[in-house]
């Protein structure tokens, strides 16, 4: 029996069978994966770092629960990009197998924690918009900074706990159970449980945004009637609708990027995947990086406050650049005048 296609539980735990999961067979495939990972990963780290800087450099944004949740999303995307690119490229491109089962599960746990925290941060953001639109008069009392930070603490602790379960013993080597075809040492029951949890989170986000969109349409109709009056309340509702639309765009990108990966994970639990589908899964995994890269672009285009902060930063940078270009000319002019004197 070919253990690379139909691995036995016992042989699956051996270090030599790690090569069975290296599905990229040609140099062109490896170069393509490395290029996509490095491109998406670099842009993702840069863009999300910029988002964090824009949020925490402005007192008006860093105090709002909405942007606290967005900063958690940006941080999760940065960590996901770094851990995913390093482990994924090392394993599939450079065929790195010089690490133990524990080291591999630790890397996998880091990637799992980051992506789970990214998805959970979107859920908190959706709930924040849900409360803001469904109960606007009580929003400031219900959604305080203290509660926002407490929610993030529970979120990250829960994601880290779930992601560390394979390292703590829930793996097919320790339990001598059915192993996943997509991830070394990962138990099929754990993978199916993680997929169900992810689908549950997506379902909650979709439900929250469905309500947000319904209320946003009501707000738009109301604002058209009150457009002549204007005022503070109208401005606040405009901001809520704009942010709601922004986050719906984020959700749409999230679903498009994660659907292929989740679909293949579900198929791997119920049936065996061909080598071609496993290669497709490897390439589809880079879509998760694409999602993390697109999120900050949506914020910059849709968030008025972050957009204003970005313009201030760019304006300050241009002034500094212009001053540095003019200073040598001024210095040379001063020196020439001294020589002439």
What is the pLDDT confidence band of residue 237, given thresholds at 50, 70 and 90?
Answer: low
pLDDT at site 328: 56
Question: Would the pLDDT of 22 be above 70?
Answer: yes
Give the pLDDT score at 228: 53
Task: Say yes or no to pLDDT of 4 above 60.
Answer: no
Angle between helices 101-134 and 232-270 (to 10 degrees): 150
The pLDDT score that the predictor gives to residue 12 is 43
- State yes or no: pLDDT of 7 exceeds 50: no
Residue 262 has pLDDT above 60, yes or no: yes
pLDDT in tens, 55-92: 888 887 888 888 999 999 999 999 999 999 998 888 88
The model's pLDDT over 316-333, given as tens digits with 9 standing for 90+, comes to 888 888 887 776 554 455
Choose between 282 and 331: higher pLDDT.
Answer: 282
The DSSP letter of residue 26 is S
Q: Are 18 and 107 a contacting pair, CB within 8 Å?
A: no
pLDDT at 153: 95
What mean pLDDT comes out for the span 139-160? 92
Give the residue from 161, 86, 71 showing the smallest Cα distance to 118. 71
Among 38-47, 109-118, 285-294, 303-312, which stretch is predicted with the lowest mean pLDDT?
A: 303-312
Question: Which two tokens mark 114?
Answer: 């980051």
Ranges assigned E (strand) in the chain: none
Contacts of 317 (CB under 8 A, 6+ apart): none
* Buried/exposed 34-48: b ≥16 CB within 10 Å, e otherwise: bebbeebbebbbebb
Select the more confidently predicted residue: 241 or 35.
Answer: 35
Residues in the chain: 341
List CB contacts of 289: < 8 A, sequence separation 6 or more: 36, 37, 40, 41, 44, 80, 81, 84, 85
The answer to whether the CB of 247 falls within 8 A of the CB of 209 is yes
What contacts 24+ positions apart, CB below 8 Å, involve 157-164?
Answer: 158/120, 159/112, 159/113, 159/116, 159/117, 159/120, 160/109, 160/113, 162/112, 162/116, 162/194, 162/197, 163/108, 163/109, 163/110, 163/112, 163/113, 163/116, 164/109, 164/113
CATH number for the domain running over 25-227+235-304: 1.20.1070.10
**What average pLDDT does this structure show over 263-269?**
90
What are residue 186's DSSP bridge partners? 171
The residue whose two tokens read 């449980």 is 193
The confidence band for 233, taking pLDDT boundaries of 50, 70 and 90, is low
> Residue 213 — very low, low, confident or very high, per pLDDT cuts 50/70/90?
confident
Cβ atoms within 10 Å, residue 127: 17
pLDDT score of 186 more than 70: yes
pLDDT at 78: 94
Q: Mean of the pLDDT values across residues 161-185?
A: 89
Give the domain ranges of the chain. Answer: 25-227+235-304
Confidence at residue 16, expressed as pLDDT on a 0 to 100 scale? 43
Tens digits of residue pLDDT in 96-125: 666 778 888 999 999 999 999 998 998 898
Mean pLDDT, the chain, integer: 80
Percentage of residues in the chain with pLDDT exceeding 90? 27
Nearest to 184, CA basis, from 18, 61, 307, 11: 18
pLDDT surpassing 50 at residue 6: no
User: pLDDT: is 208 or 213 the higher one?
Assistant: 208
The stretch 132-144 carries a mean pLDDT of 84
């Amino acid at each position: 029996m070919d253990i690379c296609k139909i691995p036995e539980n016992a042989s699956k735990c051996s270090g030599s069978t790690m090569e069975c999961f290296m599905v990229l067979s040609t140099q062109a495939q490896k170069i393509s994966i490395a290029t996509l990972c490095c491109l998406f990963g670099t842009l993702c780290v840069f863009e999300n770092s910029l988002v964090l800087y824009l949020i925490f450099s402005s007192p008006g944004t860093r105090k709002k629960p909405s942007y606290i949740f967005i900063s958690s999303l940006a941080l999760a995307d940065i960590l996901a990009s770094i851990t995913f690119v390093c482990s994924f490229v090392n394993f599939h491109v450079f065929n790195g197998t010089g690490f133990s089962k524990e080291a591999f599960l630790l890397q996998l746990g880091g990637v799992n924690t980051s992506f789970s925290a990214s998805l959970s941060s979107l859920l908190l953001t959706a709930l924040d918009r849900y409360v803001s639109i469904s109960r606007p008069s009580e929003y400031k009392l219900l959604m305080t900074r203290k509660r926002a930070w407490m929610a993030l603490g529970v979120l990250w602790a829960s994601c880290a706990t779930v992601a560390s379960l394979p390292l703590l013993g829930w793996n097919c080597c320790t339990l001598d159970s059915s192993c996943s075809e997509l991830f070394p040492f990962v138990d099929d029951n754990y993978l199916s449980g993680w997929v169900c949890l992810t689908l549950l989170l997506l379902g909650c986000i979709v439900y929250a945004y469905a309500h947000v969109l319904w209320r946003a349409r009501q707000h738009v109709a109301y604002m058209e009637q009150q457009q002549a009056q204007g005022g503070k309340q109208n401005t606040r509702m405009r901001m809520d609708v704009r942010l709601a639309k922004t986050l719906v765009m984020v959700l749409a990108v999230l679903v498009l990027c994660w659907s292929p990966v989740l679909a293949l994970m579900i198929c791997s639990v119920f049936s065996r995947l061909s080598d071609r589908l496993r290669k497709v899964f490897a390439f589809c995994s880079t879509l998760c990086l694409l999602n993390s890269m697109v999120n900050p672009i949506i914020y910059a285009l849709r968030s008025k406050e972050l957009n204003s902060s970005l313009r201030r930063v760019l304006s300050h940078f241009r002034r500094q650049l212009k001053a540095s270009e003019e200073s040598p000319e001024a210095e040379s002019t001063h020196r020439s005048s001294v020589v002439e004197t």
